[in-house]
Amino acid sequence: MLTGRDPHPQNMLETIKKWVDRERRVLITASAVASSVIVMRWFGCFQVWEWAAFDHFVRWRPAEPIDSRIVIVEIKEADLQKYGYPISDAVLAQLLQKLQAGKPRAIGLDVYRDLPTQPGNAELLKTFKTIPNLIGIELMPDATRLGVRPPPVLDKLDRIGFNNVVIDADSKVRRTLLYAWPGDGKTHQSFALRLALLYLKSEGISPQSAKSNPKYLQLGKGVFRPFQPNDGAYVRADSRGYQILTNLRGPRGSFRTASMSDVLSGTVPADFVRSRVVLIGSNAPSLKDFYQNSYSSGWFGPPQQIPGVELQAHFLSQILSAAIDGRGGINVWPEAAELLWILLWSWAGASVSWNLRSLGRSAYCLLSICLSLSASLYLVFLRGWWLPLIPPILSLVGSGAAVVGYLAHLQEELKRSKEFLQSLIDTIPDPIFVKDRTHRCVVLNQAYCRFIGYPLEILSCRTDYELFPHAEAEIFWQQDELVFKTHQPRENEEYFTDAHGITHLIATKRSLHKDAAGNLFLVGAIRDITERQLRQNALEQKNAELSHQAYHDALTGLPNRQMFYECLHQSLEIASRTQELVALLFLDLDGFKSINDTLGHNVGDLLLKIVASRLKKCLRGSDTISRLGGDEFTIILPAIPGREEAAKVAEKICDAIMQPFILKEHTVSVTTSIGISLYPIDGQEPDILVKNADVAMYRAKERGKNQYHFY
């Protein structure tokens, strides 16, 4: 009957070897896949995907409250229609004067003003000079643009910031440029940074070198780590100047706004701009001052662009929030840590697939891990860290797929090996089994199935613990394991219980073999030697009976004369070495001849049997009783302290023998006469001791029988 039993646990050394071999294969696969992913990453193959993941994380973040420190004065399409384009210097001067009357901390004019626009140029120049917290803009030339000069008056007063924007290859803005060194010998500050420094000055905050790294800029609570060419998902990006990763506050509309017309008409409250930073810029579609950022993408529909002035507001808000509120930026790992991160997930994918060894289960598990990894990295992103997502996922899935493919190849090779072995061993009349390294039967011939009594479908992929009694299975497992360890063939005899409960004695020869894929198999051939063993047992039993007859009395089963002399000789040798006494008792039954003559030999034989039984009860286990013939018995008492102990035994025997005997329908009484000789007092040779004990016995008869006498 089949029973489910756990296989015997493998020893520690074998377990460690298997674990090391598995981990070596996993590490090789993981390293190869991770190396491929890292090379592809180095060539920028995943950069766009990583940017897309970054954008999704940004959009999924909880919305932050409006930064009340910043106000945007928008120049709308309606304002252009009302005041004309370009806006005259007179209108612009009036706008600046009204805003300055509200006592803002800083005013940022995100409008190019390198040339006069009449009327009112003189008034605008005067306004530029009289507003000390006004910052204008310039556009530094680069490879794609010629640049725009700043307003000359503000340039002389050093109240200029550039509004150049760093645009990624997918046309999105994810970086902020704080400083630039275009090669003219000057350090240029960004528009947002100039406005932030004006605001922070009133807070008592000025630029300093960070304590963690003197090359880093620190403003109040915020440390601005400069962007590096391979930060995050970037690959050999242009990192000229002092760039940082942009940490957007939210989608378009994240700041308080008012239109230019509202300000000029006086409908804006007096305290709307007080103690705030005011940015003036266009959001009119006709001026095409728009950019894309992480919020510009969506699942459906065209990208939503953000006006340049609002983008500058995000830059400004990031600086102020970091310096005053301690709001962190976007942090990244060092490149070495990111490479190790990719290798780790590649190892995880290979390890999972190797342990599951199933395409379906591996795919489900790897998908779950990918989702968990994405969710975890999103939570980490909420804490301000941008870690690689796409390369780890590809490494995880790639290494898992590689292992599944390798295991599938091994399974195919194993299947071919099984088919070949099956066709081969089915031609052999002896029972043949083939086991894998886990001790499971993978191939069995029909002779084996007939021998054990189960069909092939039941026996396949079973262990011995599931087929045989535990004691038998334990022996099979040990013998198999010895062959696996030593790689040497072995042949031994074992007991084997079939499906019908019949136990066979078998001779099993085991040896190891490898297939083309390197799979190791144990092949066993069985011979049923039950009949041979039965014949051998019968012969041994017959020999044992003959030997017993040669050394024992046929009637009483006691040792005979030959065995008596061997035992006496052995006892004397031991006594000679140990310096101990040996007593020899020679017994003869008194009146036995008359009972034998009157009641018959059958009764006499029965009497001798009962006498032998009574004698056994009177003696120790180390004492020897023998029947020399007729009614003569001898008793060897080895290692006795002295004569008194021999006398006590003799008295005990006399008392036991004189008790009546019930022999069939007869009740008879007999006594015994005992002669005692002692070694070495009465002799040192067996024959002498026997002769002296016999003489002593006759003296006991002469003195009236039913007694003992020492020589």
Mean pLDDT across the stretch 318-328?
95
Percent of the chain at pLDDT > 90 equals 62
In this prediction, residue 101 has a pLDDT band, given cuts at 50, 70 and 90, of: very high
Q: What is the pLDDT of residue 2?
A: 44
Q: What is the pLDDT of residue 10?
A: 46
Lowest mean pLDDT among 91-105, 203-217, 297-311, 377-391: 297-311
What token pair was written down for 356? 């599951």
| DSSP 3-state of 163 | coil
Q: What is the pLDDT of residue 603?
A: 86
**Angle, nearest 10°, between helix axes 686-702 and 561-578?**
110
d(CA 151, CA 153): 6
The 10 Å Cβ neighbour count of residue 502 is: 10
- Name 686's Cβ contacts closer than 8 Å, sequence gap at least 6: 565, 568, 569, 572
| DSSP 3-state of 151 | coil
In this prediction, residue 245 has a pLDDT band, given cuts at 50, 70 and 90, of: very high
Q: What is the pLDDT of residue 546?
A: 75
In this prediction, residue 513 has a pLDDT band, given cuts at 50, 70 and 90, of: confident
What pLDDT, in 10s, does the model give residues 389-409? 999 999 999 998 988 888 777
Q: What is the pLDDT of residue 407?
A: 79
Q: What is the pLDDT of residue 146?
A: 87
Q: Which amino acid is at 379?
A: L
- pLDDT exceeds 50 at position 7: no
Q: What is the pLDDT of residue 514?
A: 80
d(CA 443, CA 420): 10
In this prediction, residue 474 has a pLDDT band, given cuts at 50, 70 and 90, of: very high
Exposure string of 527-566, with b = 16+ CB inside 10 Å and e = fewer, is eeeeeeeeeeeeeeeeeeeeeeeebbbeebebbbeebbbe
Q: Which amino acid is at 157?
A: L
In this prediction, residue 65 has a pLDDT band, given cuts at 50, 70 and 90, of: very high
Q: Which of 444, 448, 443, 496 is nearest to 468 (CA)?
A: 496
Q: What is the pLDDT of residue 190?
A: 97
DSSP string, 397-429: HHHHHHHHHHHHHHHHHHHHHHHHHHHHHTT-S
Query: pTM value?
Result: 0.64
Q: Which of 327, 110, 317 is nearest to 193 (CA)?
A: 317
In this prediction, residue 594 has a pLDDT band, given cuts at 50, 70 and 90, of: confident
The CA distances from residue 599 to 257, 606, 608, 700, in Å, are 143, 11, 13, 26
Between these two residues, 547 and 333, which has the higher pLDDT value?
Answer: 333
Lowest mean pLDDT among 198-202, 291-295, 296-300: 296-300
Q: What is the pLDDT of residue 4?
A: 42
Lowest mean pLDDT among 65-79, 336-350, 352-366: 352-366
d(CA 642, CA 517): 81
- pLDDT exceeds 60 at position 25: yes
- pLDDT exceeds 80 at position 96: yes
User: Does a cis peptide bond (omega within 30 degrees of 0) precede residue 641?
Assistant: no
d(CA 194, CA 192): 6
Q: What is the pLDDT of residue 680?
A: 92
Percent of the chain at pLDDT > 70 equals 95
Lowest mean pLDDT among 100-104, 164-168, 431-435: 431-435
- Name 579's Cβ contacts closer than 8 Å, sequence gap at least 6: none
d(CA 166, CA 178): 11
- pLDDT exceeds 70 at position 11: no
- pLDDT exceeds 60 at position 488: yes
Q: What is the pLDDT of residue 415?
A: 72
| DSSP 3-state of 211 | coil
Mean pLDDT across the stretch 575-583?
92
Mean pLDDT across the stretch 681-707?
92
Exposure string of 689-698, with b = 16+ CB inside 10 Å and e = fewer, is bbbbbbebbe
Helix, strand, coil percent content, the chain, rounded in steps of 5:
45, 20, 35
In this prediction, residue 500 has a pLDDT band, given cuts at 50, 70 and 90, of: confident
Distance of CA 24 to the CA centre of its chain: 14
Q: What is the pLDDT of residue 516?
A: 63
Mean pLDDT across the stretch 152-172?
95
What pLDDT, in 10s, does the model give residues 429-469? 888 888 888 888 888 888 888 888 888 888 888 888 888 88
Q: What is the pLDDT of residue 12?
A: 59
d(CA 52, CA 57): 9
d(CA 280, CA 263): 11
